[in-house]
């Protein structure tokens, strides 16, 4: 598999090794299918874990950290951003390369994470937890940061030499 940039390589008769599948301008190839599958399994497993963990009754939560103890923003908000950041990272690595452009993938995945976070927050009162709009906003911020990191990592991985030269990683 050959990872190429749309800014540097023309597909055409002067570059026959690119093959007929690429059109006038080559674009960055997505991650190999088996790696995207691994990331997709991790995305769904982590998403189910996250949904389960956020719906645990408040009495079962072993740690309660108050913002006043630190004099900073509530650490719960950082946990929301971190949790959805990981979810966004996995989503971008698993599904980001399946769209024609990165922008359409980013928008679709951001909407998916926004709906996921909304469902997560809105169903928490059914389990004795408090639904909070600021938690959802932190989910959105973390998801956006995770998506950006995931797209950057995907682009870096497809351009890096170890990915293109490794037989196991390039199998597709």
CA 96 from chain center: how many Å?
8
Give the whole-angstrom CA distance, residue 55 versus residue 83: 14
d(CA 162, CA 125): 48
- As a whole number of angstroms, the distance between CA 81 and CA 88 comes to 10
- In order, the DSSP letters of 128-160 are T----HHHHHHHHHHHHHHHHHHHHHHHHHHHS
- pLDDT of 33 reads 82
pLDDT at 163: 58
Rounded CA gap, 53 and 126, in Å? Answer: 14
**Could you read off the pLDDT tens digit of each residue along the chain, which spans 172 residues?**
334 444 444 444 555 555 444 444 445 566 778 888 999 999 999 999 999 888 877 554 444 545 445 555 677 788 889 999 999 999 999 987 665 567 888 899 999 999 999 999 999 888 888 888 988 999 999 999 999 999 888 877 777 655 555 555 555 4
Please tell me whether the overall predicted TM-score, pTM, comes out greater than 0.75 for this model.
no
């Amino acid at each position: 598999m050959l990872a190429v940039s749309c800014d540097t390589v023309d597909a055409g008769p002067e570059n026959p090794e690119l093959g007929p599948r690429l059109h006038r301008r080559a674009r960055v190839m997505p991650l190999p299918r088996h790696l995207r599958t691994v990331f997709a399994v991790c995305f769904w497993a982590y998403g189910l874990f996250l949904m389960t963990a956020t719906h645990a009754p408040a009495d079962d939560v072993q740690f309660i950290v108050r913002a006043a103890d630190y004099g900073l923003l509530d650490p719960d908000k950082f946990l929301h951003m971190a949790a959805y950041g990981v979810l966004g990272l996995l989503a971008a690595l698993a599904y980001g390369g399946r769209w024609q452009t990165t922008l359409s993938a980013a928008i679709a995945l951001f909407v998916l994470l926004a709906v996921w976070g909304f469902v997560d927050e809105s169903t928490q009162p059914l389990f004795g937890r408090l639904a909070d709009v600021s938690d959802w906003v932190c989910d959105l911020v973390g998801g956006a940061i995770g998506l950006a990191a995931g797209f950057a990592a995907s682009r870096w991985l497809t351009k890096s030499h170890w990915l293109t030269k490794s037989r196991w990683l390039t199998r597709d």
